Amino acid sequence: MATRATSIAKTYLDALADELEISDTRYEQAEESYQSLGRWFNRPASTLRDYDPAVYVQGSFGLGTVIKPLHADEEYDVDAVCELKALSKPQLSQETLKALVGAEMEGYRRSQAMAKPLREGRRCWTLNYADGAQFHMDVVPALPNAQDVRILLDSKGLDASRAATAIAITDNERLDYQQITHDWPRSNPKGYLDWFKSRMRVVLEKRRRAMADAVKASVEAIPDYKVRTPLQSSIMILKRHRDIMYVKDELNCCPISIIITTLAAHAYQGEEEIADALLSILSGMEAYIARDTRGRAVIANPSDPLENFADKWAEFPERERAFYAWLRQAQRDFAHAASLADRHSITDSLSPHLGQELAKRAADRSASKPAGLLRGATAAAAGALSTPSFSNTARTPTKPQGFA
């Protein structure tokens, strides 16, 4: 792989990341949606209030790696957690917890006059917003699980430094779903986010300070979603490349976002330009795929080392082959593009792998102005949030190709 990019290629990749990012309004809608649900859960009449409910975002919206979907009519998927902090696993079953949260979410849906019914998934409840929102929200019911996870990781000699934010979640396909047991499915989205931020903390804080100085605001007034680091931009670009390569994924082999994100964050070395970060990540991410004693791939969850993000590769080896096929293709495509010194040549080179329209928009943007630090925000609005208003017109949701 090429290790250096031409100046034209660097500007082009900056513009490409700008074209992929979603608007501030989308982030603000996501934040208002889960905060509104949290207020409902904590209202005086709530059946959950005594259990100290906390609602927070997880997934790509929390990580700042959401990208626009391939098609304008596709929905964004906002992933959230409802953690009942004053309950514990010995007090109820997964089924009871799921029902408690579901009942309040149904009440919320009716209070907001949402036309679409509440939908139950394997681990979550889904609120389907209407046309004006263009997103749905998956809410995972959860309980605190720090003590059990810490004991478990310590017993295996594994890193338990992020166990304080571990949660237990529901799964209606488990045999013990209706039983009261200590053995619940585990998760730790706050721990993962903390690890992810640690991989880019120096650059993130440097850019936040620069933005604060530019708009004469305090650093604390700059929300994370208004700052984009080269790590986040690289992941966004790689996700779109993945989406195009597997747009017709009939065998369900498309590399999952959590694997791309984890390996990219491991491989990121603090580069301050997107092109440098992208090439470094593509060169280094494979080195962070470990192997167990039987030769099976291991990509450990940094917040829970017992969880293997690549656990399905042993059962479905075609998924591992698909990942490496994608990685080799991405290495070739971006190394070649980085070596080009003409904007039109770069556009022609990347169009088949990113989509013709996106590649052209990136070319136009790179010709007109350099990329900036703000996520499409004006200086005056750097610390402000707007409250969205959602229509209740029914619409049919589709699976977003660019967000997982």
Q: Using 50, 70 and 90 to split pLDDT, how confident is the model at 376?
A: very low
Q: Per the domain annotation, does 395 fall within a domain?
A: no
* pLDDT higher than threshold 70 for residue 201: yes
Smallest CA-to-CA distance from 394 within 130, 99, 75, 97 is with 130
Measured in degrees and rounded to the nearest 5, phi and psi for residue 54 equal -130, 125
- In sequence order, the β-bridge partners of residue 304 are 301
Q: Per the domain annotation, does 403 fall within a domain?
A: no
The mean-pLDDT minimum among 60-64, 136-140, 374-378 falls in 374-378
Q: Per the domain annotation, does 42 fall within a domain?
A: yes
pLDDT value of residue 25? 85
Residues 225 and 90 in one domain: no
* pLDDT higher than threshold 60 for residue 386: no
Residues 241 and 361 in one domain: yes
Q: Mapped to the 3 state alphabet, what secondary structure does 55-113 carry?
A: EEEEHHHHHCCCCCCCCCCCCEEEEEEEEECCCCHHHCCHHHHHHHHHHHHHHHHHHCC
Q: Which pTM was predicted?
A: 0.88
Structure tokens at 35: 């905060």
Residues 244 and 351 in one domain: yes
Q: Using 50, 70 and 90 to split pLDDT, how confident is the model at 250?
A: confident
Mean pLDDT, residues 84-110 taken together: 97
Q: Per the domain annotation, does 66 fall within a domain?
A: yes
pLDDT value of residue 131? 58
Q: Is 88 left (phi over 0), alpha (psi -120 to 50) or beta?
A: beta
* pLDDT higher than threshold 90 for residue 280: yes
- E strand intervals along 296-343: 297-298, 300-301, 304-308
Q: Using 50, 70 and 90 to split pLDDT, how confident is the model at 133?
A: low
Among 166, 195, 224, the domain boundary falls at: 195
Mean pLDDT, residues 61-86 taken together: 90
Calpha distance 327→348 (Å, rounded): 20
Mean pLDDT, residues 74-97 taken together: 94
Residues 149 and 86 in one domain: yes
The mean-pLDDT minimum among 4-18, 149-163, 237-251, 379-393 falls in 379-393
Residue 387 DSSP class: P
Contact between 391 and 132 (Cβ < 8 Å): yes
Mean pLDDT, residues 197-219 taken together: 93
Contact between 16 and 363 (Cβ < 8 Å): no
Residues 185 and 276 in one domain: no
**Structural domain range at position 250:** 7-22+200-381
Could you read off the pLDDT of 166-180 as tens digits, one per residue? Answer: 999 999 999 999 999
Residues 226 and 329 in one domain: yes
Residues 373 and 265 in one domain: yes
Calpha distance 225→231 (Å, rounded): 14
Mean pLDDT, residues 117-125 taken together: 96
pLDDT value of residue 3? 58
Residues 171 and 204 in one domain: no
User: For the domain that residue 43 is a member of, what is the CATH number?
Assistant: 3.30.460.10
Provide the CA 264 distance to its chain's centre, in angstroms: 13
Q: Who contacts 126 (Cβ-Cβ below 8 Å, separation ≥6)?
A: 118, 119, 120, 136, 137, 138, 139
Among 172, 195, 218, the domain boundary falls at: 195
**Percent of residues in the chain assigned helix, strand, coil, to nearest 5:** 50, 10, 40
Residues 80 and 141 in one domain: yes
Mean pLDDT, residues 355-361 taken together: 95
Among 165, 195, 225, the domain boundary falls at: 195
The mean-pLDDT minimum among 90-104, 153-167, 325-339, 365-379 falls in 365-379
Burial state string for 154-187 with b = 16 or more CB within 10 A and e = fewer than 16: eeeeeebebbebbbbbbeeebeebeeeeeebbbb
Residue 388 DSSP class: P
Calpha distance 79→84 (Å, rounded): 17
Could you read off the pLDDT of 143-155 as tens digits, one per residue? Answer: 999 999 999 999 9
